[in-house]
Structure 1
């Protein structure tokens, strides 16, 4: 199992994949109660387009318009046993942090850091030290603690009246879908795989039924819950169906979820963060225990992500009273689908 991936520090027990969910829980807040107040230019978001957990932060940063206040460092899609690396930058060095490996930022704060080096991470630019890698809390804080820096028209991704329902959906989606595909892919026994497979598709069936007559998971606008589900669905056919043996059916064969995923993909802030080439390169080349040859499959055909979804017939207002984000900055654009 990859030692530096999002599953870093996780393990297999009695054949079952167990994710290490102990993260650096320091928070960047409006009042700075943990010693790290929200400030323009003070922090750098380090992410990787390949990683579903990091992809959440890229989407939320776009939707809320945090680009002017929170710079972005992107690691390449592959890494070595020590750390994610800045292979996409000239000389393999992040131009702001001046480091080749994300590991350097972790060790700058915790010299004996014992866990996996994961993305996303927020790094304090001045000290070069990691502040947090708690990806689940990170996007919630973007929505609630960084409000002074939201763009005009930013959506309410974690509205107070809906938080309990969003939290409940998020728990199920994480347990059975986001992490469920990994439990299939890294199962160490047939029994563990069979159980994970059944649990994953039972959850997908439940979510599909929920979305049959509603455009979004909670309320009538996009929320944090949709962001979290989308990053797994968008990788399903390209990676999880084959690579992780989640092969009861492809996403394209699940009518409700396929239409829902295309609806989000075609919404500004979602599909324009997705780089399918990096996604496939990461999973198929890094997980050599699953794919020893490192061969990256040529398919699937991706042009169907741009076909009509007709979900607008269900109503709903993608951004509520807000507006879509502007196009990505030129330096942050992803390859267009052909």
Structure 2
């Protein structure tokens, strides 16, 4: 028996099992091929060539949806959306007519992974970018994907696109993002999939110590790094959006709900009400995914009705801290009708 429970047979946003006595460890061996302006890995940035496959339920995929919207890459990079639930084999395109992605012509994302590597041994994860002409997954390295959206896809950014990864702030963004990933983004999973009381206690304490640190950091500054929205904010937001609906109860992260942190709750609402964030957040799919897929944690698969979501659209007062959400840029236009979150899945 392995000494650690690893997320190497499931998907990027869930562990496949809880191993008694084990500490949850995420498998981070992703397909590292990059799509770059110079095409040095064999995949040059080209409009219309690639398809982003994501799921609104998944926090790691939600990052790519936000960045794509903020930067205005919709015309250059098409979007395929998987449903909120899946089996052990793969995410599926059950939201599409006939359960088939209309561009890739496949029922399971697994098919695109196997086109790249027939014996692909790891989890079939979202987000993934697929090369449409060959049907092969190019990359599923979610952390690098959003950075490359900012730095390699610049030829296709919309007019007024914000700089989410400004060169002068990159070292600080990277430092903050790593702390957030270790203790918060992944920290909630270390709580939820801990295999023993001591592993859970350690993960719990580490998570809330970091949330307290973030609360202090955001009390007197509007954004995590600098005075505009950056990659660091995109990475934190997707965990905060899922905190009260899922992580507080389902993953036993229950010292305090998000709403008990004045600065963090105000910060989360500020981002949610910013175009690109709330309009890519689907609370219904988020809850369906975690409570239905994680049968080891929730064997009845009952999806809770709460929490009440109207607070997400209440005034946050964060404008008083200054800052400009898009810097010298502008907000993105409303989402396209075919990509809009259903109105009954959001308080917007």
| Alignment TM class, shorter chain as reference | over 0.9
Say if 2:54 and 2:126, in contact at 8 Å, map to a contact too: yes
Cα displacement (A) at 1:3:
4.0
In structure 2, the residue matched to 1:33 is 40
In the TM superposition, what whole-angstrom CA distance separates every residue of 1:269-314 from its partner, at most 9, and x where no partner exists? Answer: 0000000000000000000000000000000000110000000000
Say if 1:233 and 1:261, in contact at 8 Å, map to a contact too: yes
In structure 2, the residue matched to 1:64 is 71
In structure 2, the residue matched to 1:334 is 341
Which of 208, 211, 219 is the matching residue for 1:201?
A: 208
SS of match in other structure, 1:115: coil
Does residue 192 (structure 1) correspond to residue 211 (structure 2)? The answer is no
Matches within 5 A, 1:1-338: 3-6=9-12, 7=14, 14-336=21-343, 337-338=346-347
Say if 1:10 and 1:18, in contact at 8 Å, map to a contact too: no
Say if 2:84 and 2:288, in contact at 8 Å, map to a contact too: yes
Cα displacement (A) at 1:10:
8.8
In the TM superposition, what whole-angstrom CA distance separates every residue of 1:90-138 from its partner, at most 9, and x where no partner exists? Answer: 0000000000000000000101101000000000000000000000000
For residues 290 and 13 of structure 1, what CA distance do their matches in structure 2 show?
Answer: 13
For residues 287 and 125 of structure 1, what CA distance do their matches in structure 2 show?
Answer: 31
SS of match in other structure, 1:234: helix
**Which residues of structure 2 form unaligned runs of 5+?**
1-6
SS of match in other structure, 1:242: helix
SS of match in other structure, 2:69: helix
Summarize the Cα distance change of 1:285–1:18 in structure 2 as closer, same or farther, 3 Å threshold. Answer: same
TM-score, normalised via structure 2 length: 0.95
For residues 171 and 203 of structure 1, what CA distance do their matches in structure 2 show?
Answer: 12
In structure 1, the residue matched to 2:3 is none
Cα displacement (A) at 1:15:
1.9
Say if 1:45 and 1:73, in contact at 8 Å, map to a contact too: yes
Cα displacement (A) at 1:13:
8.4
Say if 2:18 and 2:194, in contact at 8 Å, map to a contact too: no
Say if 2:8 and 2:123, in contact at 8 Å, map to a contact too: no
**Which residues of structure 1 form unaligned runs of 5+?**
none
Cα displacement (A) at 1:9:
7.3
In the TM superposition, what whole-angstrom CA distance separates every residue of 1:38-94 from its partner, at most 9, and x where no partner exists? Answer: 000000000000000000000000000000010000000000110000010000000
Provide the aligned length of Structure 1 versus Structure 2: 338
Say if 2:18 and 2:195, in contact at 8 Å, map to a contact too: no
Cα displacement (A) at 1:14:
4.5
For residues 19 and 156 of structure 2, what CA distance do their matches in structure 1 show?
Answer: 42
